[in-house]
Structure 1
Amino acid sequence: MARQIELIQKEMLDGIAANSDLVQLNSTSKVAIYRLIVFVVAYSIWLLESIFDKHRIDIDTALYEQKSGTPRWYRNMSLDFQFGFDLITDSDKFDNSGFTSDQIEDSKIIKYCSVKESLESNRLILKVASEQGDELAPLTETQITSFKQYLIEFQYAGVKINVVNNPADKLVLNMSVYRDVLVLDENGSSILNGGKPVETAIKNYMKALPFDGELVINDLIEKLRAVDGVNNVHISIASSSFYDTAINEYSPYNEIEVKTIPVAGYFEIINFDTVTYVV
């Protein structure tokens, strides 16, 4: 770990003071030439040590993320998928010769990915999602077919992978918001600024959730209680529905008692019709 500049400088000055051959360099002036030289050297040493620290972190991170066959490795390989590009022969790298950096970046359609080991069977559960505007969205049929072929090219022999590319789980919140009548009107709109801050807070909370992260009802309530004009929040029923690929339609809504992880990896709130504002 890089030492502080002051510590390096002190060690150098102490060494000078203890050296009889340098006894004449005993000025206490902050602008003494030798003190300025000591500071420049100390700063250079600190900068070099800081570079070494950064280099060590980069190497450790690269080694950790590039260990082949780990869930993190599968995730990184998935995020590197380039739609419409071919692989270099006998390689798991894409042939980017002749393409601009913007074209290469635009081809990386998988923006979110989660890889976990299934507890019920010997397989990896790989969830992916792309983007449409500011919203998460599943890959198209053509895109997911291409991606699955890409997986075959690099996955370890014998490893079974279940790819989840579902539309967002639907989330319904039956809730009562106890409002400050001086700040929010009966529809939940800000009297001073307009807009609906509670709905905005819910959307922001959903966006802040990590992909394939856990929705915790109490955490959501805590966020909503911090909204200006909200005195209290009561969520009577929170329920979700996931897209069942076996029947090609959404499942019946299931109540969320404490927390849940979306099957698709992310949620979508259809509307806020079940949010009421009370005094």
Structure 2
Amino acid sequence: MARDIKQIQQTILSAKAQAVELSPLEVLIDQEQTLADVSSTSKVAIWRLWVWVIAFAQFVQEQYWDTFKKEMEKRIAESRIHTPKWYREKALNFMFGVPLVPETDYYDLTGLSNAQISGARIVANAASIRVVQNGYGTLRLKVVRLVDGEYSPLTPEQVTALDVYFNQNIADAGTLVKITTGEADLLKIRLNIHYDALVLNADGSRSDGTDQTPVINQIKQYLKSIDFENGKLVLQHLEDRLKEVPGVKIADVIAAYSKYGIYDYLTTDVQNVGIIQQIRIADAGYMKLDENELLINYIPYSE
């Protein structure tokens, strides 16, 4: 890692102090008579200025080496055997409506504006998972886009283009990439909230009128904070986040359920569907609160 200029100067100064050959100075020629005494302790002595110049030059050189090292590490990483992480990165770099350079896995961006490039990169998040289907290994790639700032499924046309991008152009021979996109898994939850009556009302709103649904808003924020790439909903973590809401003394999850696709909350024989014991990974990669199935009991807290 590149040193800062002070560190480099200190190294030079320490070396100068220890260099005994610099003590008995040779006789100066006429042109050198104008130089300040190199033993001067003045901060503006010529020799000190030269130390700073050399230190700065060395600092710039080390910065270049750091940049060079990062570039080499990036190239090495990009040339590695294609891992699930590599497929995820490729999904995020996918550009809808832009052709690849023939026989390559990259685009020619010549003539495209930053706005056009940004607009073509439709995949907002992705997660790659190894799965076994019918005895064969498959790489499942879960993808979403952003619509009005919220995760949403890709359109059928976008899914088709992404499938061609992977399975006909860049995926390793023998690797089948299954593209999936869908609506968020839904969370049905029942809570007991013990609240401070000086801060919250009986309906959960703030007494000062600044927020009508602080508990519900906190649940939504927690769900948004869960990492898309195989992030986990943890009920204990949700309770901890709810206790951060001003006025909430105790947050107790009584029951929680999730569902996706055609399944129901009470399904118990399908992975990631039904009753949540403590941890749940969303099948779609993200989860939303089902406010139609939300039940919160607000209980005044007493010491």
**Residues 1-279 of structure 1 correspond to what in structure 2 (within 5 A)?**
1-17=1-17, 18-21=19-22, 24-118=37-131, 121-152=136-167, 153-192=169-208, 193-211=210-228, 212-243=230-261, 249-253=262-266, 254-271=274-291, 273-279=294-300
Q: RMSD value over aligned CA atoms?
A: 2.3
Distance 1:61 1:83 in 2: 25
1:203-238: CA deviation from partner (whole Å, max 9, x where unpaired): 221121111311111111111112211111000111
Letter in 2 for 1:128: V
SS at match of 1:73: helix
CA distance in 2, matches of 1:168, 1:205: 14
How far apart, in 2, do the equivalents of 1:124 and 1:260 lie? 21
**Aligned partner of residue 177 in structure 1, secondary structure:** strand
Question: Rg bigger for which structure?
Answer: 2
Give the 3 Å change call, closer, same or farther, for CA 200–179 of structure 1 in structure 2.
same
Asked if 1 retains the 8 angstrom alpha-carbon contact of 2:38 and 2:46, the reply is no
Q: Kindly, what percent of the aligned residue pairs are identical?
A: 31
Deviation at 1:65, TM superposition (A): 4.2
Gaps of 5+ in 1: 244-248
Kindly tell me: are residues 29 and 217 of structure 1, through their superposed partners in 2, closer, same or farther at Cα, counting changes over 3 Å? same
Change (3 A) 1:50 1:202: farther
CA contact 2:162–2:179 (8 Å) conserved in 1: no
The one-letter code of the counterpart of 2:70 is I
- For residues 92-151 of structure 1, give each alpha carbon's deviation from its aligned partner in whole angstroms, at most 9, with x where no partner exists: 333544432311220111111111222675221211111111110111112111211111
CA drift of 1:262 comes to 0.5
Alpha-carbon separation, structure 2, partners of 1:127 and 1:236: 31
Whether the aligned pair in 2 keeps the contact of 1:213 and 1:265 (CA below 8 Å) is yes
3-state SS of 1:123 partner: strand
Write the distance in 1 (CA, Å) between the matches of 2:193 and 2:71. 47
The residue type paired with residue 213 of structure 1 is G
TM-score relative to the length of structure 1: 0.88
Change in CA separation of 1:92 and 1:7 when aligned onto 2, cut-off 3 Å: closer
Distance 2:2 2:246 in 1: 44
- Matches of 1:46 and 1:97 in 2, distance apart? 35
Aligned residues: 274
Distance 1:133 1:65 in 2: 33
1:135–1:53: structure 2 CA closer, same or farther, 3 Å change rule? Answer: same
Residue pair 1:4, 1:46 contacting (<8 A) in 2 also: yes
Kindly provide the amino acid, as one letter, of the partner of residue 295 in structure 2: T
Amino acid at match of 2:15: G
- Could you tell me how far apart the structure 2 residues matched to 1:162 and 1:251 are? 24
Query: Using the alignment, how far apart are the partners of 2:71 and 2:255 within structure 1?
Result: 46
